[in-house]
Structure 1
Amino acid sequence: MRHLLVKFLSVLLALSWLGVAATPAETALHRGNGSEPETLDPHKSTGEAESWIEMDLFEGLVTADAQGQVIPGAALAWTISPDRLTCTFTLRPDGKWSDGTPVTAGDFVFSWRRLVSPDTRSRYAFFLWPVKNAEAISKGRMPATALGAEAVDDLTLRVTLEAPTSYFIASLQHHATYAVSQANVKRFGDDFIRPGNLVSNGAFMLAEAVPQGHVKLVRNPHFHAAGDVALDAVYFYPTENRDAELKRFRAGELDITYDIPDGQIAWTRQNMPGQMRLAPFFSTYWFVYNLRNEPWKSSPQLRAALSMAIDRQLIVDKITQAGEIAAYTVTPPGTDNYKAPLPDWASLTQAERDDRARALLAEAGYGPGGRPLEVELLYNTSENHRKIAIAIDSMWRQKLGVRARLVNQEWKVLLQNRAEGRFRDVVRGGWIGDYNDAYSFLSLFLSDVKGQNHAGYASPDFDRLVKAAASEIDPRARRSLMERAEAQLLADHVVIPVYVHVTTHMVSDRVRGWHDNVRNLHLSRYLSVER
């Protein structure tokens, strides 16, 4: 061993005599990332796993700081007209794509037209519906060129809104509103997203994308703040088996996990407390009924019965165990200028809810003395989701005599089927607030929001209240409209809220720059690794 060490040092010395510098080791961050990415096209992706990668690759007009707060991004500044109908963004003069070409206002106009075009079939086109004519374009009633977004010059983007929209600027942090390079998309078509083709304007650029393996990003030398980025590379690893992910973390193969298996929360809390990160999260976990199908379409009593029979407190106390809060509303606590309207049955004891559930089940014609019922409960492949589904099945059987048939699908498959309403009975869902406003949650259930209204809910009164809130500029009146809308949504038993999330991550002692925040945003540009 001593001989080998001496030989190695001799080689290094010889290289220095020859003027050859030793190549430094790559400074890389290794992140667990949940499911296999659906796509890295920011206008077509929908999941959290994809968004984390896209936040590293791209930068929207606004972005997030290390604490998850909205800050200027590709736009250096913006102004809003006195009537609140025109937003004018000034782009950074040093904003560049990873091929060195400038990021222009024309790229944003092209990208936003692409997002709202029916040909793109984006499930997030509604993010731009506040923009003039965007909704009509999405519904095929107007051409994409009618969008109220204009490139005044290369660095000035003027956006005209349908009505004053208080949350509009904050919503532009979402990946759906990111720009892609117009020249790049026109050159490669749908293949623009492949490694070697993709150019991006974020802190990193795409180097590798190995299915079921990893996505590798490398530092973008043309990023406007490249000098502040400490990492040479970031590796994202899809790992649907959370126990396997935790093992990789303990072996030193991962620096950050996507989450922690529910069954390992107590163990990690006792044995690895310094690397365990639990934090409140602006997100709700729920299931939705398919209101396109019977018996759900015409039986609110049945929908109510199944929801009331679920002991949410038992789930958070005995299964998830990370400090989650039992949920009875769609919007989570901490929503700005809002107080979610609790349904009356939420104040009952669980025994009282069970009694009411049995009465409602009988009223719907099911249960003892009525028709038998088997419910298909669909969830994406994950041990955490499976345990919750098993618990719900057990509760329904014991209390109501209702059987659940548990069906799991891979994330990409579930996303597609859920978006298109291709599930029989009940599907796992949930939402992470893209900005701190109740509208971020309630807008999902608008009847004309295709791809996100998974239940197929269609209520003219609900639509009217939510759309009125979108353009209401008086904060008190706006709050009242949204609270009334959520009260109706809950009374219709469209969704089964289960709990308000907390984020659970293992973060290595070597990682620097991590800040817990309710948005769970941790862009790699702010992180570093000590080896």
Structure 2
Amino acid sequence: MKKWLTMVTGATLLLSVATGCSSTPTDTAQTTTTNTTPSNTQSTEPAKSGPMVLRWTISGEPPTMDPGIATESDSMDMINACFEGLTSYDLKGQLDNAVAESFTNSPDYTKFTFKIRKDAKWQNGDPVTAHDFEYALKRNLDPKTASGYAYQLYYLKGGEEYNTGKGKAEDVGVKAVDDYTLEFQLKSPTPFFRELTQFTTLFPLHQKTVESNPKWASDPKTLIGNGPFVLDTWEHKTKMVFTKSPTYWDKDHVKLDRIEISMIEDNNTALSMFEGGESDWGGYPATGLPADAIPKIKEEGKLMVADNPGTQSVIFNTTKPPFNNKKIRQAFSYAINRQEIIDNILQTGVPAAYGWVPTSMGLKPDGYFKEDPAKAKELLAEGMKELGLKEFPEVTYSYNTSDIYKKMAEALQDQWRKNLGVNVKLYNTEWKVYNDNVHNANYDLGRFLWGADFNDPINFLEMFRDKTGGNNNPKWENAQFKELIDKSYQETDPAKRKQILLDAETILMDEMPLAPINFRGNPYVKNDRVKDFIIFPLGGAYYKYAYIAN
């Protein structure tokens, strides 16, 4: 579904559920572009008898509405409703200019310059300027901010140095040349950099708002965005309401008057709301579909699957016994019957994963290992001997609240008991607590799903470069792996770069700080009246163009 194009793989699939199809445009990394008007293809707006409202559900309280802090999907989906970056995606599936009206890049892809549109406004009426982007990126790189995605800005000259306390903010390669000209200096050739500009960590921030109140992002009264919608109501752990922004530069293409979002942890409840007409969507990217409901929905011909690059896995806390031992991690991985989980629980026909990087990114489609219960028992015994263990210690598998995740946890528990003779306890918490626990290494082993931020293998590998990295939940680090990642940043030959990344993933899958289970395929059902809702090419919700047909 993705393709390797010279040195860059573009985000090439956009799923618009109005038509139920995808489009595959050409590579978006151009030397120069001068278009100043978005190339959207809009449907005719239906006649309205009252406010047009989309009713939506999410699985829990978004941890933050701060674009620089967000690391998980619910927060990012909400942020994309009321903030906007230099680029975004249009209805044709193409990366298009958003706050930027044009851009140029140097032939070697080490310098990008964006012109900011002069009609872009913050929701309080202030102009959006290049200074807002420079402020946001340097603020996100500031170690005090503790941005989990700060490493996404390491492509900038001086970005890593500033974030790790070895450099200064003024040396970071982002500069407002004037109010409407933003310049990036990159430390090495980065053809996919424009694609990164649609990611929340590179969104602008309203400096006065951020600096005036440390809790600005948790209250609708103090949150000021620049996107198509305004956060009007936030009843924490209950609901959020977004309304159409009157100051948004492209407001004529925004048809929804309001988005009403309910926070529903239980997938059965969320599906019941959809079936009862209380919400317009069931399943991804709103909530999950209950495992028991999928066969019936499939039989009725209503099941849809969003095929975005991503991988679901078990992660191991490598900072403490027993999972600080490679052989024990390998044993737990080889003991998993992936197809059984896919057939009996996920039921969406997704492929089993025997590598971490999605096959669409082209490193090693056949994977690096296979299930082998006999070998798993041998490795477990050898690992226990190396740790001086006569009995396997009590360990707990953690997961966040979800019907499917619960069934997966029970299946894994049963497989490890049968294939390894190990009893694993299960621990379930709401998403925010679970997220905090794994980020702080307060777990033994648990569930982890990673969806692509941009369509290049480095996005699945560089998070493990440093054990202190914001999304390195296994807290694993390997000197040779790190050396290969650093080497890939400098390599300009596509074949050589691919081999370097292949070598890196080979190390990752031998060390096994995480055990891949399946590649992503997210099921959902929808109200047929919902048109032009976009699931981003790499996953996530985008409400800008959606409308409700009569």
With normalisation by structure 2, the TM-score equals 0.87
Q: Aligned pair 1:303/2:323, yes or no?
A: no
Deviations along 1:249-304, whole A, 9 cap, x unmatched?
Answer: 01111111223112210011223x34x3213221110111111101222x211111
Deviations along 1:137-171, whole A, 9 cap, x unmatched?
Answer: 11112232332111111110011111112222212
Equivalent residue letter for 2:412? I
Which residue in the other structure is 1:502 paired with?
521
When residues 385 and 192 of structure 1 are mapped into structure 2, their CA distance, relative to the original with a 3 A threshold, is closer
When residues 448 and 393 of structure 1 are mapped into structure 2, their CA distance, relative to the original with a 3 A threshold, is closer
Which residue in the other structure is 1:418 paired with?
438
Q: Aligned pair 1:318/2:344, yes or no?
A: yes
SS in 2 for 1:491: helix
Q: How does 1:157-306 map to 2 (within 5 A)?
A: 157-191=182-216, 193-257=218-282, 258=286, 259-271=288-300, 273-274=301-302, 276-297=303-324, 299-306=325-332
Q: Aligned pair 1:433/2:462, yes or no?
A: no
Equivalent residue letter for 1:175? T
Equivalent residue letter for 1:456? K
| Counterpart Cα distance in 2 of 1:202 and 1:290 | 38
Q: How does 1:14-29 map to 2 (within 5 A)?
A: 25-29=50-54
C-alpha contact (below 8 Å) 1:377/1:406 kept by paired residues: yes
Which residue in the other structure is 1:32 paired with?
57
Q: Aligned pair 1:48/2:67, yes or no?
A: no
Q: Which has the larger radius of gyration?
A: 1
Task: Return the offset for 1:333.
Answer: 2.0
C-alpha contact (below 8 Å) 2:137/2:202 kept by paired residues: yes
Which residue in the other structure is 2:482 paired with?
463
SS in 1 for 2:230: strand
Structure 1 window deviating more from structure 2 (191-200 vs 216-225): it is: 191-200
Task: Return the offset for 1:427.
Answer: 1.9
Q: Aligned pair 1:112/2:112, yes or no?
A: no
C-alpha contact (below 8 Å) 2:357/2:363 kept by paired residues: no
Task: Return the offset for 1:340.
Answer: 4.7
SS in 1 for 2:456: coil
Which residue in the other structure is 2:410 paired with?
390
When residues 119 and 461 of structure 1 are mapped into structure 2, their CA distance, relative to the original with a 3 A threshold, is same
| Counterpart Cα distance in 2 of 1:191 and 1:245 | 30
| Counterpart Cα distance in 2 of 1:521 and 1:495 | 23
Which residue in the other structure is 2:502 paired with?
483
| Counterpart Cα distance in 1 of 2:230 and 2:184 | 28
Deviations along 1:360-413, whole A, 9 cap, x unmatched?
Answer: 1222237xx952343210111111111101001101111211010101121111
Equivalent residue letter for 2:277? G
Q: How many residues of Structure 1 are paired with residues of Structure 2 in the alignment?
A: 497
Task: Return the offset for 1:195.
Answer: 0.6
Deviations along 1:420-454, whole A, 9 cap, x unmatched?
Answer: 2122x212112000111111111111115522111
Percent identity, aligned pairs only?
Answer: 30
| Counterpart Cα distance in 2 of 1:403 and 1:495 | 19
Deviations along 1:11-37, whole A, 9 cap, x unmatched?
Answer: xxxxxxxxxxxx952211111222210
SS in 2 for 1:364: helix
SS in 1 for 2:75: helix
| Counterpart Cα distance in 1 of 2:56 and 2:217 | 25
Task: Return the offset for 1:51.
Answer: 0.8
Task: Return the offset for 1:192.
Answer: 5.0
Structure 1 window deviating more from structure 2 (314-323 vs 250-259): it is: 250-259
Deviations along 1:298-331, whole A, 9 cap, x unmatched?
Answer: x211111111010000000011111221111111
| Counterpart Cα distance in 1 of 2:245 and 2:456 | 33
Equivalent residue letter for 1:501? R
When residues 192 and 492 of structure 1 are mapped into structure 2, their CA distance, relative to the original with a 3 A threshold, is closer
Task: Return the offset for 1:233.
Answer: 0.8
Q: Aligned pair 1:402/2:422, yes or no?
A: yes
SS in 2 for 1:163: coil
Deviations along 1:118-149, whole A, 9 cap, x unmatched?
Answer: 11111011110110111111111223233211
C-alpha contact (below 8 Å) 2:265/2:401 kept by paired residues: yes
- Of residues 114, 136, 144 in structure 2, which corresponds to 1:89? 114
Structure 1 window deviating more from structure 2 (385-394 vs 440-449): it is: 440-449
SS in 1 for 2:521: strand
Deviations along 1:449-500, whole A, 9 cap, x unmatched?
Answer: 5221111111011011112112322111111111110011001111110111
C-alpha contact (below 8 Å) 2:463/2:470 kept by paired residues: no
Equivalent residue letter for 2:493? D
| Counterpart Cα distance in 1 of 2:490 and 2:546 | 38
C-alpha contact (below 8 Å) 1:329/1:490 kept by paired residues: yes
Which residue in the other structure is 1:17 paired with?
none
Which residue in the other structure is 1:520 paired with?
539
Equivalent residue letter for 2:315? V
C-alpha contact (below 8 Å) 1:126/1:449 kept by paired residues: no
RMSD of aligned Cα (Å): 1.9
| Counterpart Cα distance in 1 of 2:379 and 2:211 | 57
Q: Aligned pair 1:125/2:144, yes or no?
A: no
Structure 1 window deviating more from structure 2 (428-437 vs 142-151): it is: 142-151
When residues 205 and 363 of structure 1 are mapped into structure 2, their CA distance, relative to the original with a 3 A threshold, is same
When residues 514 and 24 of structure 1 are mapped into structure 2, their CA distance, relative to the original with a 3 A threshold, is closer
Structure 1 window deviating more from structure 2 (182-191 vs 202-211): it is: 182-191
SS in 2 for 1:365: helix
Equivalent residue letter for 1:314? E
Which residue in the other structure is 1:138 paired with?
163
